[in-house]
């Protein structure tokens, strides 16, 4: 019982099916090649490097087993930079999220002029991070920085101990640059989330006599859960691999106080010890993969 | 919710204040770029007004005027004091380098990403979710983890310190964003559109090229802007992979030398570098949040 086919007859010389536009292959092949050559191959090479060691005499790389890895795990400076990175990531995330929610609630209204304010809030996002670093370096300079000046005037810090010369305040100085640049990221995403919320539950809550704060904790925040999860994931990944601000603002200093893991890896790279630099950079990657996978599963983030 | 007039005004004031705080660093930066040397380095307190604005920092960085010449204009004795060559602060070549790399990588990214995004939006195949996740995982790759091998690879391929090399690497970093974002725009176009075109006898390629692609023009523009801005502002990869080609962010960082930090030139070049991004981002406001969340959140 065969039905007559209406499709055009395929000529004998036709390409194999996987080469035709009906098959995903030709659509995905270019990007796959690109990602394999410039993404996967370098990664594999990094892994290979991490099992080798520079031979100073022959200037060759000798197989060294787990040498670089045991070296990393017994390297106090690595642990310190990991700790700095974690502190940096969590403090920045917490501040950006809290400020982001507050500012988004503040700007979430249809009244005239707020559109302009929302547009202005996008501007910090497009400043090159290297320039942001420079901006804060200029403002935090110990002798003529505008921010330093006001902090001295308010007696919050002493001119004898400029911001960038003290371990604690130097990290805060980098954090400030990050918070300035990326709080708007949270604001915009949460604003979009707020705008997409249905009206009815809020009307019902108002009728039931819920206060503004109750409505926020019981209704707004849970309904923004997904939006916040996406923002935290994307931001968290970027924060954990932070490099630019550290390079520009403190160069890891004073001493190694503000050295993050990515920055430490970069510093080792510039000393010429490529296998160890690769190992350190892989630690950044492994932590990111594990944490982001757990996060994606836990909060059911979908793209 | 009814709110009193006083509350409304308080909210307006607070909102303006918050936004003003966020605008302050940019404003201070732009203000510093037209200050004379003495006003930037004034140790007695911040200088807001009362200085004579000068275009000299822009003339040196954007027009390539030698700073010795500027010193001569201001009177002979100043010229003697100024040391060092002027050419290293002329940033015209950097702006051109950055523009070539940003435009090149945006074009390459869009070419590869529209094909992949259309396919991922329209076709079903086994391993599709894994493929998507693989592309997404590339977005989470720390640049430091791939840049070291890429340095060696580029040395062997002769791509070190070339436009092509940096275009390829910036495209690599931009691809995940572009694919996910474009996929979300293709997903907005109903499948019936494709089916109608296919039934009318169009091939899959014609359907993509002539029917669906024109419908996502806005989305492609938004993606292009975000890719451009990323490449224009990227720092780490450009720093590691180039020596004679200097993108603007890397160029600015070279103005900090062991002897002096040239704040006048830094702020002038920085201000100039920010302006194109500002204009572009305001043009695609509507799709910005979708872009920032890799397509997962639509306004």
Binary contact (B143, A243; C-beta < 8 A): yes
Residue B256: strand pairing partners: B261
How does pLDDT run across B83-95, given as a tens digit for each residue? 444 458 888 899 9
CA distance A113 to A195: 17
Binary contact (A127, B274; C-beta < 8 A): yes
Do the Cβ atoms of B166 and B105 come closer than 8 Å?
yes
What pLDDT does residue B79 have? Answer: 43
Do the Cβ atoms of B102 and B232 come closer than 8 Å?
yes
Q: How many CB pairs under 8 A join A and B?
A: 256
Of A31, A103, A191, the CB nearest to B116: A31
| Residues of chain A positioned with their CB less than 8 A from the CB of B235 | 128-130, 243-244, 247
| Residues of chain A positioned with their CB less than 8 A from the CB of B18 | 103, 106
Asked if B5 reaches chain A (Cβ–Cβ under 8 Å), the answer is no
Within 8 A by CB and 6+ apart from A84, the residues are: A171, A257, A258, A259, A260, A261
Q: Which 66-125 residues of chain B touch chain A by CB within 8 A?
A: 111-113, 115-116, 118-120, 123, 125
Within 8 A by CB and 6+ apart from B48, the residues are: B31
The CATH number that domain A68-299 falls under is 1.10.3720.10
Within 8 A by CB and 6+ apart from B238, the residues are: B101, B166, B246, B247, B249, B250
CA distance B123 to A166: 57
Question: Strand (E) positions, chain A?
Answer: 52-55, 60-63
> Which of B103, B116, B222 is CA-nearest to residue B166?
B103
Provide the token pair at B135.
């592309």
Output the CA–CA distances (angstroms, integers) from residue A123 to A12, A204, B13, B211, B293, in the order listed: 58, 37, 20, 35, 17
> Which of A155, A189, A140, A101 is CA-nearest to residue B25?
A140
Instruction: Please provide the DSSP assignment of B6-55 as one string.
Output: HHHHHHHHHHHHHHHHHHHHHHHHHHHHTS-HHHHT-SSS---SSS----
How does pLDDT run across B6-33, given as a tens digit for each residue? 888 999 999 999 999 999 999 999 999 9
Provide the token pair at A35.
């990602």
Shortest CA distance from B115: residue in chain A: A27
| Residues of chain A positioned with their CB less than 8 A from the CB of B113 | 31
Shortest CA distance from B112: residue in chain A: A31
The residue of A36, A50, A130, A293 whose CB has the most chain B CBs within 10 angstroms, and thus the best one to mutate to test that interface, is A130
> Which of A210, A120, A2, A115 is CA-nearest to residue B24?
A120
| Residues of chain A positioned with their CB less than 8 A from the CB of B229 | 126
Positive or negative, the Cα torsion across A74, A77, A81, A84? Answer: positive
Binary contact (B119, A28; C-beta < 8 A): yes
What pLDDT does residue A10 have? Answer: 55
Asked if B229 reaches chain A (Cβ–Cβ under 8 Å), the answer is yes
Binary contact (B149, A237; C-beta < 8 A): no
Residues in chain A: 303
User: What burial class does residue A1 get, using C-beta atoms within 10 Å of its C-beta: 0-12 exposed, 13-18 middle, 19+ buried?
Assistant: exposed
Do the Cβ atoms of A202 and A211 come closer than 8 Å?
no
**HSE on the CB side for A302, CA within 13 Å?**
4
| Residue environment code for A240-267, b if the CB has 16+ CB neighbours within 10 A, otherwise e | bbbbbbbbbbbebeeebbbbbbbbbbbb
Diameter of chain A by CA atoms? 95
CA distance A165 to A250: 9
Q: How many other CB atoms are there within 10 angstroms of residue A70's CB atom?
A: 11
Do the Cβ atoms of B174 and B109 come closer than 8 Å?
yes
Phi-psi region of B74 (alpha: psi -120 to 50; beta: other; left: phi over 0): alpha
CA dihedral A259, A260, A265, A266 (to 10 degrees): -70
Within 8 A by CB and 6+ apart from A171, the residues are: A84, A87, A88, A257, A258
CA distance B86 to A6: 74
Q: How many other CB atoms are there within 10 angstroms of residue A65's CB atom?
A: 10
Residue A61: strand pairing partners: A54
Per-residue pLDDT of chain A (303 residues; tens, 9 = 90+): 445 545 555 556 677 777 777 888 889 999 999 999 988 899 999 999 999 998 878 778 888 889 999 999 999 999 999 999 999 999 999 999 999 999 999 999 888 889 899 999 999 999 999 999 999 998 988 888 888 888 888 888 888 888 888 888 899 999 999 999 999 999 999 998 998 888 888 888 888 888 888 888 988 999 898 889 989 999 999 999 999 999 999 988 788 999 999 999 999 988 888 999 999 999 999 999 899 889 988 888 776
Provide the token pair at B74.
């201001």
Phi, psi values for residue B26, rounded to 5° = -65, -45
Binary contact (A243, B22; C-beta < 8 A): no
What pLDDT does residue A187 have? Answer: 94
| Angle between helical axes of A274-299 and A41-50 (0-180°, round to 10) | 120
> In the predicted model, what is the mean pLDDT of chain B?
87
Positive or negative, the Cα torsion across B266, B29, A257, A184? Answer: negative
Q: How many other CB atoms are there within 10 angstroms of residue A106's CB atom?
A: 19
CA distance B62 to A153: 37
Do the Cβ atoms of B117 and B174 come closer than 8 Å?
no
Write the DSSP symbol of residue B125: -
Is pLDDT at B70 greater than 80 in this prediction? no
Q: Which 131-190 residues of chain B touch chain A by CB within 8 A?
A: 131-132, 134-150, 152-153, 168-169, 171-172, 175, 179-180
Asked if B264 reaches chain A (Cβ–Cβ under 8 Å), the answer is no
How does pLDDT run across B158-209, given as a tens digit for each residue? 998 999 999 999 999 999 999 999 999 999 999 999 999 999 988 889 999 9
Of B26, B277, B293, the CB nearest to A230: B293
Of A189, A240, A265, the CB nearest to B297: A189
> ipTM surpassing 0.90, yes or no?
no
Output the CA–CA distances (angstroms, integers) from residue A272 to A79, B162, B238, in the order listed: 21, 22, 18
What pLDDT does residue B84 have? Answer: 47
Q: Which 280-299 residues of chain B touch chain A by CB within 8 A?
A: 280-282, 285, 288-289, 292-297, 299
Fold of the domain built from segment(s) B91-249+279-292: MetI-like fold (1.10.3720)
pTM given for the model? 0.88
Is pLDDT at B77 greater than 80 in this prediction? no
Asked if B25 reaches chain A (Cβ–Cβ under 8 Å), the answer is yes
CA distance A162 to A160: 6
Binary contact (A119, B205; C-beta < 8 A): no
- The larger pLDDT score, comparing residue A10 to residue B103, is at B103
CA distance B132 to B145: 21
CA distance B176 to B117: 10
User: What burial class does residue A35 get, using C-beta atoms within 10 Å of its C-beta: 0-12 exposed, 13-18 middle, 19+ buried?
Assistant: buried
Chain B: closest CA distance from residue A1 (Å): 25
What pLDDT does residue B83 have? Answer: 47
Binary contact (A278, B46; C-beta < 8 A): no
Asked if B18 reaches chain A (Cβ–Cβ under 8 Å), the answer is yes
User: What burial class does residue B163 get, using C-beta atoms within 10 Å of its C-beta: 0-12 exposed, 13-18 middle, 19+ buried?
Assistant: middle
Binary contact (A31, B113; C-beta < 8 A): yes
Q: Is the peptide bond before A254 cis (omega within 30 degrees of 0)?
A: yes
């Amino acid at each position: 019982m065969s039905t007559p086919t209406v499709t055009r007859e395929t000529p004998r010389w036709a390409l194999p099916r996987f080469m035709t536009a009906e098959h995903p292959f030709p659509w995905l092949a270019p990007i796959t090649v690109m990602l394999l050559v410039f993404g996967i191959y370098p990664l594999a090479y990094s892994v290979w490097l991490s099992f080798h060691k520079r031979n100073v005499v022959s200037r060759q790389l000798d197989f060294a087993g787990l040498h670089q890895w045991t070296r990393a795990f017994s390297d106090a400076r690595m642990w310190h930079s990991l700790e700095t990175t974690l502190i940096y990531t969590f403090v920045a995330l917490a501040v950006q999220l809290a400020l982001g929610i507050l500012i988004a609630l503040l700007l979430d209204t249809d009244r005239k002029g707020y559109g302009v304010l929302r547009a202005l809030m996008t501007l910090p996002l497009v400043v090159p991070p290297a320039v942001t670093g420079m901006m804060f370096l200029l403002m935090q300079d110990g002798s003529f920085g505008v921010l330093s000046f006001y902090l001295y005037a308010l007696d919050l810090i002493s001119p004898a101990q400029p911001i960038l010369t003290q371990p604690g305040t130097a990290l805060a100085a980098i954090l400030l640059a990050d918070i300035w640049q990326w709080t708007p990221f949270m604001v915009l995403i949460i604003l979009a989330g707020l705008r997409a919320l249905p009206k009815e539950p809020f009307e019902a809550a108002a009728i039931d006599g819920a206060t503004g704060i109750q409505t926020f904790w019981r209704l707004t925040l849970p309904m923004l859960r997904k939006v916040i999860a996406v923002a935290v994931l994307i931001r968290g990944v970027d924060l954990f691999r932070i490099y630019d601000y550290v390079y520009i603002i403190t160069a890891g200093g004073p001493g190694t106080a503000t050295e993050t893991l990515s920055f430490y890896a970069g510093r080792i790279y510039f000393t010429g010890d490529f296998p160890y630099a690769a190992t350190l950079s892989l630690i950044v990657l492994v932590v990111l993969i594990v944490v982001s996978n757990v996060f994606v599963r836990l909060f059911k983030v979908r793209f | 919710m009814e709110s009193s007039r006083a509350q409304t005004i308080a909210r307006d004031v607070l909102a303006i204040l918050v936004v003003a705080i966020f605008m302050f660093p940019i404003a201070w930066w732009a203000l510093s770029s037209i200050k004379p040397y003495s006003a930037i380095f004034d140790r007695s307190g911040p200088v807001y007004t009362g200085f004579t604005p000068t275009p000299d920092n822009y003339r040196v960085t954007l027009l390539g005027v030698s700073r010795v010449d500027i010193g001569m204009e201001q009177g002979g004795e100043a010229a003697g004091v100024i040391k060092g060559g002027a050419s290293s602060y002329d940033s015209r070549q950097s702006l051109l380098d950055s523009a070539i790399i940003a435009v090149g990588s945006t074009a390459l990214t869009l070419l590869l990403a529209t094909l992949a995004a259309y396919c991922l939006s329209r076709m079903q195949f086994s391993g599709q979710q894994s493929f998507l996740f693989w592309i997404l995982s590339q977005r989470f790759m720390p640049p430091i983890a791939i840049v070291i091998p890429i340095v060696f690879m580029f040395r062997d391929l002769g791509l070190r310190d070339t436009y092509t090399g940096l275009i390829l690497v910036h495209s690599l970093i931009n691809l995940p964003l572009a694919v996910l974002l474009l996929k979300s725009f293709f997903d907005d176009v109903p499948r019936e559109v494709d089916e109608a075109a296919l039934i009318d006898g169009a091939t899959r390629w014609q359907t993509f090229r002539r029917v669906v692609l024109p419908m996502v023009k806005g989305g492609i523009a938004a993606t292009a802007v975000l890719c451009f801005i990323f490449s224009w502002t990227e720092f780490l990869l450009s720093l590691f992979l180039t020596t004679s080609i200097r993108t603007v962010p890397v160029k600015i960082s070279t103005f900090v030398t062991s002897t002096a930090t040239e704040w006048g030139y830094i702020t002038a070049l920085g201000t100039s570098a920010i302006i194109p991004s500002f204009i572009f981002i305001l043009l695609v406001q509507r799709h910005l949040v979708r872009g920032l969340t890799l397509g997962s959140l639509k306004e």
